[in-house]
Structure formats: structure tokens, C-alpha cells
A = this chain, B = another copy of it.
Amino acid sequence: MNPSNHIFLRALNGETLERPPVWMMRQAGRYLPEYIALRNKYDFFTRVQTPELAAAITLQPIDIIGPDAAIIFSDILVIPQAMGLEVLMEEGKGPLLPKTIATQNDIDALETSGAAEKLHYVLDALRLTKEQLAGRVPLIGFAGAPFTILCYLVEGKGSKTWEKAKQFCFTHPQLAHQLLQKITDITIDYLLAQVAAGADAVQVFDSWSGSLSKADFELFAQPYLLQIADALHQSAPVILFPKGSWYALPALAKSNASAIGIDWCMDAKTARQLTADAITLQGNFDPAKLLATPAQIVQWTTDMIDSFGTTRYIANLGHGITPNVPVANAKAFINAVKSYRAKA
């Protein structure tokens, strides 16, 4: 199979389709017993940094639940590591960066070159996965968006409000922009290297941009998302996922991205209006609905596709799948999309 003919890439290309493609954020993850078996044997960064393990984890959902795309098993915090910072990951507790960024000296010390060498294990994992996929489905690479990475660099761990990161942006905007530019530069290199290693598309996760007002998103998030889309789009289609930043849809719809991910707070009609029906949308099933019965999941999934349509649409969740979802329910979601046919 030539992946460029695959339904997932055709949806990113805006082609007319009979049904949308489907994948799930965090589809390679803790709801799969096969993943838990590997997690119990290898710690997080061993799984991320061993290409054979990352490839095996990436392929698990392809074999088990059958989505229309694979997404490489990795983490957005490999970029801080490539910039020279230590990142610790305690299972179930989230990340911890012992050294955080606060001053000009801190920013000056961050490295922005050599992403491909330092993160060779991700590129090796992409190559290995691509080989093992043997054309079955396209392969998605990814990175964190610059604002989201800044959040972790400044706060050093997860936060509900990211107020320390925002305080840094609001009170030291020049430092913030320097930092965001450094993250952007290395991220562009890293994503281009992922494409060279076999990624058929890339997704940029701005997981915390929804903590910003529209005006602050336009200052601290949007310019860097646009730089990434501009730098990548001739190499591979780009999906931007600024979670919670519903207000950003009109601007991002005019960007060089091929698709925008949306969460479940945005209904299809509003999303199509805000994007002037000009870009592929990806989302937006509430992951909590995967805890209902398979019959309900099929009905809700069908309703969702009815409202988005089958063209310029990629069915997905509005956020990552949660660990407590039964595998049968994840399959029900995937199969509901794959068996959908547009009404006459």
C-alpha cells in the first residue's frame, strides 16, 4: 500500500471520503493489558529510549483495536532532555524537572542543536515501526508545542493553573519569547527529523494553551505554532492540537496546518463555523463516554460523525484515552467509525 493513498492522509488532504479515518490519542497506553505487561518490566524512559520497545508499544493498538493511524510511543518531554535538562518520570505521578528555568542565564544554557543526534532513539523507533507497519497504516510523529514545553520548563512539574509559567510570561515577556523561540527552533529540527525517519504526519500538542486568554494565546502560543506549521507543511501534514483554546480556531484555520484537533467542549457546527469549513478537524469524543456500554458508544460515535460529516474530518477523542477504559469499548469506538457510511 502506498500510504499517501491512505484514508488518514486523504482526510488531512481534504479529500471527499465515505467515512472518516479514526485513531485515539494515547491509543498506545495503559488501557491495554499488553502495554501494562511491558510497563511492569521496563521503566518509562527505558520504554521511550529503546526503539524495539517503543515500536512494539506503538504497534500494539494497531494489532489489537485497528485504528487508521499509528502514533509513535514517546513523550513531549524528550525536548527538555535534548535541551540539556533532567526529566524524571515517576509512574502514575507525572514528570519532574529538578532544574527549572527562571533567568537569562538559565535560557542561555539551554541547547538547541543536535536534536536528531540526541533523540536518535525516537528516530530509530520511527524507522523500526515504519518497517514493521509494512504500509498497513500511516505513522504519526509528534512534539509538544512551545508554550506547553515552557510550562514544564518553568514549573518543573504538572499544575492545574500553570500560574507560575504564566507569571513568567506576563512579567518577563522578553525572556519568555527567547525561551519559546529556542524551544521552537529545536522542535522544528526534531519534527523534520521525524519526517525524514518515516513520520507521515506530525501532531503538535499544546496541552496547556487553554490556560491562556485569547490575547495571551496570540502572544505566547500562536506565533510559535505557526512557525512550526510553516516549517513543516512542505515536508508532512501538520495537526495542531491547542487543547481548550477554542478561540484560536479562526486564526489556526488560516495557517499552514492541515488539521486542528478540538476537544469535546466544541460542537461540530460551531467548529465548522469558526474555521469557515476550510480545514480538517480532528476530535472530539469525550473520553469519559468510553466508560459507557459499547452500544451507547456506537450511537454517540455515529452521532458525532453525522454532525462533523465524513470529509475534512478525522474521528478521534477530545483528549487521551483514560486507563480505565475496557478494551472492548475502545474497539467499539474504532469499529463504529470504520463501519460508518454517509447517509444517502
A interface with B by C-beta (< 8 Å):
160-163, 166-167, 170-171, 210, 212-216, 244-247, 264-267, 270, 286-289, 291-293, 296, 319, 322, 324
Contact = CB atoms under 8 A, between A and B. Distances in A.
B170 A291 contact: yes
A281 to B, nearest CB: 15
A202 to B, nearest CB: 26
A213 B322 contact: no
A292 B322 CA distance: 36
22 contacts: A160-B160, A161-B287, A161-B288, A162-B288, A163-B287, A163-B288, A163-B291, A163-B322, A163-B324, A167-B288, A170-B288, A170-B289, A170-B292, A171-B291, A171-B292, A212-B265, A213-B264, A216-B286, A244-B265, A245-B265, A246-B265, A247-B270
Contacts of A213: 264-265, 267, 286
A67 to B, nearest CB: 21
A267 to B, nearest CB: 5
Given A265-B213, A265-B247, A270-B247, A167 B292 contact: yes
Given A171-B293, A216-B286, A247-B270, 10 more contacts: A161-B288, A163-B287, A163-B288, A166-B289, A167-B288, A170-B289, A170-B291, A210-B265, A245-B265, A246-B246
A247 B274 CA distance: 13
Contacts of A214: 265, 267, 270
A265 B244 CA distance: 9
Contact of A267 (B161, B215, B286, B289): B215
A333 to B, nearest CB: 14
A59 B210 CA distance: 34
A160 B166 CA distance: 20
Contact of A291 (B167, B246, B286, B324): B167
> Which of A167, A210, A244 has the largest number of chain B CB atoms within 10 A?
A167
A322 B170 CA distance: 16
Contacts of A170: 288-289, 291-292, 296
A118 B121 CA distance: 63
> Which of A213, A286, A287 has the largest number of chain B CB atoms within 10 A?
A213
Given A171-B296, A267-B215, A286 B246 contact: no
A185 B247 CA distance: 36
Nearest to A213: B264
A36 B190 CA distance: 48
A75 to B, nearest CB: 19
Contacts of A210: 265
A96 to B, nearest CB: 18
